[in-house]
Chains A and B, each alone.
Chain A
Amino acid sequence: MSATRTFAVTLTIPDNEAFTAYETLGRLGIPAARVVRADIWQFDVDGAGAADDLARTVASIETIHNPNKHRLAERASDRPAPGEVWIAPRDEAPATTVAGRAIHGVRAIRRRTAWRLLDDAGHDVAPADLDRAVETFLCNPAFQVAITA
């Protein structure tokens, strides 16, 4: 039996990449008052009891999570949340190590970038605007795919 466990890593310091995306989206006329980005790490684990301490292991790998600037949270779902889009490589071959390190009980590792566009009230922008952001900027369909809820 296998399962996928999903972790989101966000910055606790200003996210320059999200701000750059915000500025470019503004230039493209896509209405977003704020852009939120997260690194999504997914781990395919073998067996029900395998990788019980995965959260602690992931938190200890600085390539993924540097406690001085990152917040790590495990997600209940292995799919994007409503209003969120994940950008992933199209021809992805899942990794088996991270930073050269294998994780006991983990047989595949995938990384995505999650984006959310928020309006002035902090709500997700209209789905059509998110779609436009994906089509015009956030995703290059030549080698990436956009995954939504």
Chain B
Amino acid sequence: MSAVVAIVVFPGTNSEDETLRAVRAVGLEVELVHWSQPEKLERFDAFVLPGGFAYEDRIRAGAVAAHDAVMDPVIDAAQAGKFVLGICNGAQILAEAGLVPGTGPLRRPTAAFAPNASGRFESVHVHLRLTVAPERIPILGGIGAGTVIPAWASHGDGRLAAPSDELARIEHDGHLAFVYCDRDGNEVSAPNGSALNCAGLVNRAGNVLAIMPHPERDAWTYQHLDESRDAARGDARAVLAPSGGIALFEHFAQVVRGKVPA
């Protein structure tokens, strides 16, 4: 039996196709499930909430989607230990749903991906460095300590914000999954003014991960912003090869497959 991943699509989601492509490329069976079909979600092994602007970001980014009926089975699945990955708007939804950092009651957020410090939408290439021990983040099975993943940051609301005591909890209790860094892993300032330089949060059990940048938009050689793209020029196979951000999905696939009975 192959693992089946649901990509949950809200009105306003816009990154479902590239996310589906990345999840499929790492060998997982994947389906798009729309917000109006919550009953379909029970049979899935894992979930991805992709990027976009669910419900036009009305009220607050992620706030309406977090209370949508389609999130009920996602929250139940997360509580039962299934894997849930949120990217960009998906990360905002997970924070609003209280699933990350997961230090408070469900749907009572203790942290937020708030409007960028610049007050503007920021679209820049970034790298993320894993800051927790690999065993702290089972959703990325087999990932190495300090792994650096390239991605594109593309958001207006990506700044981690929380009261100081909650930020201390996030840092000391291992919820700070990824920080912004350069390609060599040296920490650099977040493009959004994020507290703790946070690019991603993980819950206590390590089965729910929220990352703001998009690894699925830097998952093929032609999408990279380095010399690898130039080196591949003229070689169709190399240009179209999965690489870079696809690594995050490979680790996700490794663990999701492992959770499925053979």
**Which residues of A are interface residues toward B (Cβ below 8 A)?**
16-17, 20-21, 24, 27-28, 89-91, 135-138, 140-144
Say what secondary structure dominates the interface of chain B: loop
Q: Which residues on B are within 8 Å of A, measured CB to CB?
A: 55-56, 58-60, 63-64, 67, 69, 95-96, 107-112, 114-115, 161-163, 166
- From B56, B69, B112, give the contact of A27 (CB < 8 A): B69
The 8 Å CB contact of B109, one of A24, A90, A142, is A142
| Minimum CB–CB distance for A40 against chain B, Å | 15
Q: How far is the CA of A140 from the CA of B64 in the complex (A)?
A: 12
9 pairs from A and B in contact (CB 8 Å cutoff): A16-B56, A16-B58, A20-B55, A24-B59, A27-B67, A140-B96, A142-B95, A142-B161, A143-B161
Chain A residues with CB under 8 A of B59? 17, 20-21, 24, 137-138
Q: Which of B55, B58, B69, B112 contacts A143 (CB 8 A)?
A: B112
Whether A142 contacts B166 in the complex (CB less than 8 A), given A28-B67, A91-B161, A136-B108, comes out as yes
Instruction: Please give, as numbers and ranges, the residues of chain B lying within 8 Å of A89 by CB-CB distance.
Output: 114-115
Known: A136-B108, A137-B63, A142-B110. 7 other contacts (CB 8 A): A17-B59, A20-B64, A135-B108, A140-B60, A141-B163, A142-B111, A143-B161
Q: B162 contacts A142, CB within 8 Å?
A: yes
Say whether B108 contacts A143, CB under 8 Å. Answer: no
CA distance A17 to B55 in the complex (A): 9
A63: min CB distance to chain B, Å: 12
Contact B67 A143 (CB under 8 A): no
A17→B53 CA distance, assembly (Å): 13
Nearest CB in chain A: distance from B93 CB, A: 12
**In the bound complex, CA of A130 to CA of B29 (Å):** 44
Chain B's closest residue to A91 (CB) is B161
Cα separation A138 to B69 with both chains bound (whole Å): 18
Q: Residue on A with the closest CB to B167?
A: A142
* A97 nearest CB across to chain B (Å): 11
**A143 CA / B62 CA spacing, docked (Å):** 14
Chain A: minimal CB distance from B123 (Å)? 20
